[in-house]
Amino acid sequence: MSILRSLNATALHARTADLCATNAWVEDNGFTVPAAYSSPSEEQWALSERVALCDLSARQVWSFSGADAASFLSFATLHDAAAMAPARAQETYWCDDGGFVRGQGTLVRRGATEFDLMTPVRDLAWMLDGAQGFEVELCDVTDQRAAIGVAGPLAAALLADTALVTEELHPGDVADVRWRSNRVTVLCLSDCRFALQTPAEDAAVVWDRLWRSGRALGLGVAGAHALDLARIEAGRLKPGVDWLPAQSATSDDKLCLPQDFGVSPGLTRRFNGVDALRRNANGPRRVAVQLAASEAVVTGPLTSKESGAGRVTSVAWSLARDEAVALAWVDQAVAKPGTAVQASGPSGPVAMRVTTVVQGPSA
């Protein structure tokens, strides 16, 4: 007997559906989002050479408010939220009592006692349980918000042309603006990647204004497949794909420590899991790397000199680079740029090379 699972439409579904010529959709956190709008070449070109809009509304958003919001988040996550300046964003992780990573997200300080945490990891119940005893109100506001991604080398130019952003933003900056009658929070995630948060009811209007203004810049759209390629090219590990949160791990060898992501939290500060991390303060047991190859590869084992060397977890074909790109966990001995390893392809073994070591945020 099959059980039908209902899926939700994002606040931008009417706009994305009009543009989705392929009618190809994927599920993300219980929502449907376009897998691909048109052709891979068009979407990759927009992201790498111009600018593209993306519907990011499926990502969960949890709001924290109250006198203990900063102290609770400083305890719950690896980053000292109390030390964050207002209008700043920080990528962070959180651990279980054993020091193993449960989740990852972007923490935004909106004010003295107000924070948002945006995450692809389903872990709200654990956060709610941990908040007991703190003077903090924690709410899931995913359905009340929409998020528009603006990505590509001309992303900042688009925001400037629309007068949405009137001053230069740097990675980690957050700007709350009143854009005519619409409320928009602009997060600068990198030099060419922004996330625009709006109330759900304002989303379509904000999208339309960006769409009209972006025509002169060659504005396009990017679906889940193109965004996944951009993620792999940028070396961003995805929970549930490249690593398993501790609550989902099926064996001890699938558990991740912060140091596995290149994150070294200050062990003198009190946060959940710190006691276990003090007892296990060794270096990373494995290293995340980006790989490249001249032909297609598939996920699976890696070898070096006929011995096991790691495992490929994400793969994609980059039209711009005309090569396969991948993310993998490897032994420290091969975690050096230029190191040759061997993966599997659709027709047999494929030679790959390590291009970069993937690093997480500083803690």
pLDDT at 79 over 70: yes
- For residue 235, the model assigns a pLDDT of 94
Q: Percent of the chain having pLDDT more than 70?
A: 97
- For residue 1, the model assigns a pLDDT of 38
Task: Looking at the structure, tell me whether residues 75 and 138 fall in a common domain.
Answer: yes
CATH number, position 5 = 3.30.1360.120
Q: Is residue 117 part of a domain?
A: yes
Out of 77-86, 109-118, 180-189, pick the least confident.
180-189
Task: Looking at the structure, tell me whether residues 71 and 148 fall in a common domain.
Answer: yes
> How does residue 180 score in pLDDT terms, banded at 50, 70 and 90?
confident
- For residue 3, the model assigns a pLDDT of 43
CA distance readout (Å), 194 to 25, 315, 339, 360: 23, 24, 33, 19
Task: Looking at the structure, tell me whether residues 13 and 149 fall in a common domain.
Answer: yes
Instruction: Name the residue range of residue 129's domain.
Output: 1-230
pLDDT at 281 over 80: no
pLDDT digits (tens, 9 = 90+) for 213-255: 999 999 999 999 999 999 999 999 999 999 999 999 988 888 9
Task: Looking at the structure, tell me whether residues 224 and 261 fall in a common domain.
Answer: no
Task: Looking at the structure, tell me whether residues 1 and 37 fall in a common domain.
Answer: yes
Q: Percent of the chain having pLDDT more than 90?
A: 85
pLDDT digits (tens, 9 = 90+) for 14-36: 999 999 999 999 999 999 999 99
- For residue 286, the model assigns a pLDDT of 87
pLDDT at 259 over 60: yes
Among residues 230, 261, 292, the one where a domain terminates is 230
- For residue 14, the model assigns a pLDDT of 96
Task: Looking at the structure, tell me whether residues 225 and 308 fall in a common domain.
Answer: no
Arithmetic mean of pLDDT, 350-356: 97
Q: Is residue 214 part of a domain?
A: yes
> How does residue 284 score in pLDDT terms, banded at 50, 70 and 90?
low
pLDDT at 363 over 60: no
Task: Looking at the structure, tell me whether residues 196 and 259 fall in a common domain.
Answer: no
Task: Looking at the structure, tell me whether residues 302 and 226 fall in a common domain.
Answer: no
The 3 state secondary structure assigned to the chain is CCCCCCCEECCCHHHHHHHCCCCEEEEECCEEEEEECCCHHHHHHHHHHCCEEEECCCCEEEEEECCCHHHHHHHHCCCCHHHCCCCEEEEEEEECCCCCEEEEEEEEEEECCEEEEEECCCCHHHHHHHCCCCCCEEEECHHHEEEEEEECCCHHHHHHHCCCCCCCCCCCEEEEEEECCEEEEEEEEECCEEEEEEEHHHHHHHHHHHHHHCHHHCCEECCHHHHHHHHHHHCCCCECCCECCCCCCCCHHHCCCHHHHCCCCCCCCCCCCHHHHHHCCCCCCCEEEEEEECCCCCCEEEEECCEEEEEEEEEEEECCCCEEEEEEEECHHHCCCCCEEEEEECCEEEEEEEEEECCCCCC
CATH number, position 257 = 2.40.30.110
Task: Looking at the structure, tell me whether residues 101 and 223 fall in a common domain.
Answer: yes
The Cβ of residue 96 has, within 10 Å, a number of other Cβ atoms equal to: 18
**Could you tell me which residue, 204 or 360, shows the higher pLDDT?**
204
**Which pTM does this prediction carry?**
0.92
pLDDT at 78 over 80: yes
Q: Is residue 236 part of a domain?
A: no
Count the domains in the chain: 2
Average pLDDT, the chain: 93
> How does residue 357 score in pLDDT terms, banded at 50, 70 and 90?
very high
Task: Looking at the structure, tell me whether residues 217 and 281 fall in a common domain.
Answer: no
Q: Is residue 244 part of a domain?
A: no
pLDDT at 2 over 50: no
pLDDT digits (tens, 9 = 90+) for 35-74: 999 999 999 999 999 999 999 999 999 999 999 999 999 9
> How does residue 326 score in pLDDT terms, banded at 50, 70 and 90?
very high
pLDDT at 105 over 80: yes
- For residue 253, the model assigns a pLDDT of 86
> How does residue 283 score in pLDDT terms, banded at 50, 70 and 90?
low
Non-local CB neighbours of 272 within 8 Å, separated by 6+ positions: 75, 76, 94, 95, 96, 97, 130
pLDDT at 256 over 60: yes
Arithmetic mean of pLDDT, 286-309: 95
Task: Looking at the structure, tell me whether residues 182 and 312 fall in a common domain.
Answer: no
pLDDT at 4 over 70: no
Among residues 163, 196, 230, the one where a domain terminates is 230
Task: Looking at the structure, tell me whether residues 268 and 219 fall in a common domain.
Answer: no
